[in-house]
Amino acid sequence: MQQRVAELPVLLDELAASVRGGHSITGALRATTGHLTGPLRRDFVDMCARLDTGLPLAAALALWADQHHQARSIRTVASALTLASRSGGPVASAIDSVAETVRSELAMQAEASALAAQAYASAVLVAFLPIFFGAIAAVTDPTSLRFFLGSKVGLGCLMLGICTDGVGWYWMRHIIRAANPA
């Protein structure tokens, strides 16, 4: 799905150029389909086949959006092209605006993924650093190891620390996944 969405700005640029060259939106879709190489090519070959059977452009675009309902960018493109085909006006500039919107969404998704990777690395560090320092303390100061393993208070502290570390790890992963479901 991500590759399909990543191809949208290039597709929209070609559609806008084709419309500026005198094609209708349907004609631009047909002309642009030949230049596509990725997953969008199959989508638009299918869409052109539907158009050839007499299905209206709005219905063909709606089917395409329904097939990829989880991709907001595809729904946006389908809606914009449907609206442009019905209303006329400066279609090419409308398509350019949608392309810019999709580019912005892709850039925000890329930034969110990068930030999620940083957050994940921080979560790993925060979760495993206490274990590392515990091991160092056990090697350098055996009395601390005797305290944690040899007394009820020490075992309680150790178990509480392990539990809170595990809860922290779980919570950080939950936050990261919620912020970046991809």
Cβ neighbours, 10 Å, residue 19: 24
Other Cβ atoms closer than 10 A to 34: 11
Between 163 and 88, the more confident residue is 163
Model pLDDT for residues 11-40, shown as the tens digit of each residue: 899 999 999 999 988 999 888 888 888 888
What is the rounded average pLDDT for all residues in the chain? 87
Cα–Cα separations (whole angstroms), residue 135 to 101, 121, 132, 138: 51, 21, 5, 5
69-125 per-position pLDDT tens digit: 788 889 999 999 998 888 877 888 889 999 999 999 889 888 888 888 888 888 888
CA distance 123 to 168: 8
pTM of the model: 0.67
pLDDT of residue 182: 56
Mean pLDDT to the nearest integer, 4-10: 86
Which pLDDT does position 20 carry in this prediction?
92
Query: Does CATH place domain 2-107 in 1.20.81?
Result: yes
Sequence ranges of the domains in the chain: 2-107, 110-179
Is the confidence at residue 56, as pLDDT, over 90? yes
Report the share of the chain in percent with pLDDT over 70: 97
Residue 152 CA to its chain's centroid (Å): 49
